[in-house]
Amino acid sequence: GKEDAGDASAVDQDEKVIEISYGHGFMPETPHHKAAIKFKEDVEAKSNNRIKVNLFPSGQLGSAREMFEGLQMGTQEIALVPTARISGFAPELQLFDLPFLFPTREIAYQIMDGKVGDELLHNLESQQVKGIAFYEDGFKHFTANNELRSIEDFRGVKFRTMESPIIMNQFRALGSNPVPIDFSELYNSLQLGVVDGQENPLVTILNMKFYEVQDYLMISSHAYLGHVLIFSNSWFNSLPEDIQEILVSTGRDVAQWQRAAVQEEEVAYLKTIEESGTTIIHLTEQERNVMRDATRSVHDEYRKLFGDDILDKTYEEIDRLNN
Amino acid sequence: MVTALFLILAFLLVFTVPVYIALSFSTAITLSLFTSIPLEVVPQRMFAGIDKFSLMAVPFFILAANVMKSGGLSARILKLANAAVGHFKGGLAMTVVVACMFFGAVSGSSPATVIAIGGLMIPALTRAGYEEKFSVGLISSSAAVAVIIPPSIGMIVYGSVTGVSVGDLFMAGIGPGILYGLAFIGYSYYYAVKNNLKPEKSSSPKELWLAFKDSFWALGIPVVIIGGIYGGFFTPTEAAAVAAVYAIFVSLFIYKDLNIKSLMKEAIESAVGTAQVMVLLAAASVFAWLLTRQQVPQALAETLISISNSKIAILLMMNIILLIVGMFIDPASSTMILAPLFLPLALAFSIDPVHLGIIMVVNGAIGMFTPPFGLNLFVASGVSKLPISRIVSGVIPFIILSLITLMLVTFVPQISLWLPNILR
Amino acid sequence: MKSLNRILSTIEQWFIGSLLLTITFILFINVILRRINMSLDWAEEFARYGIVWVTFVGASVCIYKGAHIGVDAITAFLPKKGKNILSSIVILISIIFTALFTYQAFKITYRVYSTGQISSTLGVPMIYIYGAMPLGGLLMLIRYSEKLVDSIKCIRGGKE
Ligand code: NA
Ligand code: NA
């Protein structure tokens, strides 16, 4: 009741449940959503249910750009968004889109969890958003209706791309023709031949059923699709310290869990795709080097736009980790 | 909170506040009364509601339909339709159903189909003696159910949420799509007989040939759209833009019924029509955002499903939930929210996931023309200049007919599954 | 005042009409360019954001033309005077909402400006796209105010 407000609020302070909306764009069966569920369970348990996390998968709260804005405005608390989809806010995150940058997944993880990753996450502060950790879709691969074995097979092929200059230039550097097509029209466009191919990580190729309408999958691991777990900054700063600690540490721990889950699922994805009759081709080391050299110009483009600093640091780290 | 939201909405709508304001204002009032969510979310969601490439087909088809009307393409196609089928009882209405099915099937957008076919055929049906509200009801509903015929964006959404093969879903949509077409064609015949509509006198082969020759260029529109999409030349959205440019070209240079000045007039008219529809979509997306964030569809689903314990009851409840949610939330969003809830239930009651997908897509299609919020109704009002109340009364027979057909689709899974089962 | 309104409305109409035509032709040209492998990077984004402008400026034209869709259930039962009063109240509600919308739209546009959000392909600052909302809101406010004045005159004069 209102009359004993003093007493009640003291109790409330301890028992008041903090409700959080956590949105992402991935389907319920993906490792991404399973990671979100794990985050929810861990956070709720660790906080003795002082926190309640409501999950909104499949883009129910909007696109990545819209959710990012939601965090800025304070209409949503947590989001997991692809780095490639928020380049309008944090252009330097396009680092991940650069073709043939990370030689292995392990190195990619170490870069993301190291000082380059820290700096990228820290840069988000200027956007009123707190970057917590990098999750992943994993490496992107090419699919097409013509056989893809070497760079020659890319010449003149129409590839659907996101509306991103860096990715379009990657295709131009390979001699293909990039065609921006909205994601919602991609399945039909592949089926009816508006475009011949596309690039995506296995989790998307599987979930969006692109393998149903593509004859060849080249395991090219040519670029990395990362996600970033972000919190609304103003909301986060208003929380008690112990809660902040729970949210940040759980967010980071689940990132490790999610990456392992993606790797595990990829084995099953490949099996499903192969069984559907899609031919799987592994890019040879030699051809990989040819394609890497051919697309180096895209890195220079990035350098022109965002300076030498981040890219040089990344190269340095990669060299160090390679040895 | 949700009760307040709906009460405020109902109050504003009854007092004739424009629908876009009723939807977004009721959300804004509810937000400020019950939550601390900043109202900046209102313009943000309005923007998000229209910032979608798949909606772009709507403006282009509006433009194409307006140009076809004043550029003389429509009149020529009508003359041909009359010459070909005017002497059958209900022939013109049946033609409309078939045209909607083709157009809706390829464009995948039912409001765009209402505009394209409605702008063309409503005047013709009126001239042939059909009541305006019948014509509008016929077109709003035929255009909606046409999206069941592949390719269908709703099925792609369902496939990606549930893991069901999109190819199988496409195949499964063909049976129900044909069934809906037949149901509407049957009703058109019944309507013509009941109202004793006089068929036109039958045309001689020569008249038919002349009508065909005269409408040759106008007939290029469906050929370009259907051929272009299936030939892989462009996406359905781009097809709408191509159709508009084709119509402009034919009206300016071949039929010469249009000049630059009157083209500009049509462009303005179309832009106004675009704003009319898009501002509604913008407002609806604010409203749907709040329902989603409050997890209203989930709560509704959990309550209704918990009281059912047989396969029949579960199927009925799913349909009821989908219809209610479909009244306020667009089909793609409601599929994304509800499919993950329904799928485990379906599996528990041994309902085929492909069949469930068809049930969801059909319900989504019906939601497009059920009041209070059915986009096709608003678009039809824009095209026909009829008030919403008349359109609603015209669409009621079609809602009943669609619900009966829906029961068939729900309880006779073979209608959907025979084709994918043969091909599997 | 009246003639100023007419000029404004002519500008609005020409703007949305020619913008719609431009978008249509750009997508058409892009289809052709794709055949010769020269897709425009920005066509799709231009179309989406162009339609945003058409929508919010067009919403103002819709007020001017009385084209906004509403449910007309109770007006049929009201006498003429009642209709006029109801319509004034509706316009007043519309003004309140539009003012709220415009204010919030300014806020979000300012946010987009201050955080420097840019569009992904055109590289255009998003302020030029979000700007359609506060501007459209202002135009709508002008239109509704004009309607309110007319409608109060009607009640006073007792004419339709
Ligand atoms: Na379809
Ligand atoms: Na509806």
Helix (H) or strand (E) holding A108: helix A105-113
Shortest Cα distance from A128 to chain B (angstroms)?
15
DSSP A283: P
Positions of chain B with pLDDT lower than 70, given as ranges? 106-107, 424
Res C160 pLDDT > 60? no
Phi, psi of B78 (to 5 degrees): -60, -45
SS3 A228: strand
Please tell me the pTM assigned to this model.
0.88
Q: What is the pLDDT of residues A53-92, one digit of tens each?
A: 999 998 889 899 999 999 999 999 999 999 988 988 998 9
* Residues above pLDDT 70, as percent of chain A: 95
Q: Please tell me the distance from the alpha carbon of residue C13 to that of residue B270, in angstroms, as a whole number.
A: 10
- Residues in chain C within 8 Å Cβ distance of A72: 111, 115
Q: Is the pLDDT of residue C147 over 70?
A: yes
pLDDT average, residue stretch A44-52: 95
- Name residues 180-239 of chain A within 8 A of B (Cβ): 181-182, 184-185, 187-189, 191-194, 207-209, 212-213
Token pair of B389 as six digits: 């109340």
Ligand with minimal distance to B373 CA:
2
Find out whether A78 and A23 touch, Cβ atoms under 8 Å: yes
* Residue the block writes with tokens 């007039």: B265
Residues 87-106, chain C, touching B (beta carbon < 8 A): 87, 89-90, 93-94, 96-98, 100-101, 104-105
- Nearest C-alpha in A relative to C114: A127
| Half-sphere CA count of A17, side-chain side, radius 13 A | 12
CA distance B60 to chain A (A): 17
Please state the length of chain B: 424
The overall average pLDDT reported for chain A is 91
How far is the centre of ligand 2, averaged over its atoms, from the C-alpha of B368 (Å)?
A: 5
Please name the member of B48, B166, B289 whose beta carbon is closest to the beta carbon of A212: B166
Q: Which residue has the higher pLDDT, A256 or B155?
A: A256
Average pLDDT of span C61-75? 80
CA–CA min distance C1, chain B (Å): 23
- Dihedral angle at the C-alpha atoms of B52, B57, B62, B67, nearest 10 degrees? 140
User: How close does chain B come to C52, measured CA to CA in Å?
Assistant: 7
For residue A230, give the 3-state DSSP assignment. strand
- How does DSSP assign B276-320, residue by residue? HHHHHHHHHHHHHHHHHHTTHHHHHHHHHHHT--SHHHHHHHHHH
- Asked whether residue A13 carries a pLDDT value surpassing 60, the answer given is no
- CA A52 to chain C, closest CA, distance in angstroms equals 28
Q: 3-state DSSP helix/strand/coil percent for chain A, to nearest 5?
A: 55, 20, 25
Confidence (pLDDT) at C156: 81
Report the C-alpha gap between B176 and B403 in whole angstroms: 13
Contact present, A193 and A155 (Cβ < 8 Å): no
CB A17 within 8 A of CB A50: yes
Domain boundaries, chain B: 18-24+31-423
Chain-centre distance for alpha carbon C5:
15
Instruction: Give the mean pLDDT of A9-31.
Output: 78
How remote is the CA of residue A192 from the centroid of ligand 1, in Å? 14
Q: A9 pLDDT band (50/70/90 cuts)?
A: very low
pLDDT at A15: 61
Largest CA distance in chain C: 66
A2 pLDDT more than 80? no
Torsion A302-A304-A309-A315 (CA) sign = positive
What is the average pLDDT across C43-71? 90
User: Which ligand places an atom closest to the C-alpha of B144?
Assistant: 1
Q: Give me ligand 1 centre to Cα B248, in Å.
A: 26
Number of neighbouring beta carbons within 10 Å of residue B344: 9
Query: Is the minimum CB–CB distance between C11 and chain B shorter than 8 Å?
Result: no
**How many angstroms separate the alpha carbon of residue B300 from the centre of ligand 2?**
17
Q: What are φ and ψ of residue A284, in 5° steps? A: -75, 160
**pLDDT reading at A11 higher than 70:** no
Nearest CA to A131 out of A84, A97, A83 is that of A83
In terms of CA atoms, which chain B residue is nearest residue A210?
Answer: B166
For position B89, what pLDDT does the model report? 86
For B82-104, give the DSSP string.
HHHHTTSTTHHHHHHHHHHHHHH
Q: Do C54 and B275 touch (CB under 8 A)?
A: yes
Tell me whether C72 touches chain B (CB under 8 Å).
yes
Quick check: C121 pLDDT over 50? yes
Best residue of B233, B238, B249, B383 to probe chain C, by most C CBs closer than 10 Å: B238
Q: What are the CA-CA distances from residue A11 to residues A6, A14, A44, A241, B188 (Å)?
A: 9, 5, 19, 19, 68
* Omega before B372 within 30 of 0, i.e. cis: yes
Contact B44 A70 (CB under 8 A): yes
Q: Does the beta carbon of A57 lie under 8 angstroms from any beta carbon of chain B?
A: yes
pLDDT of residue B424: 63
Q: Which pLDDT score is estimated for A5?
A: 39
| A102 compared with B288, residue with greater pLDDT | A102
Task: From chain B, pick out residues whose CB is under 8 angstroms from the CB of A192.
Answer: 151, 229-232
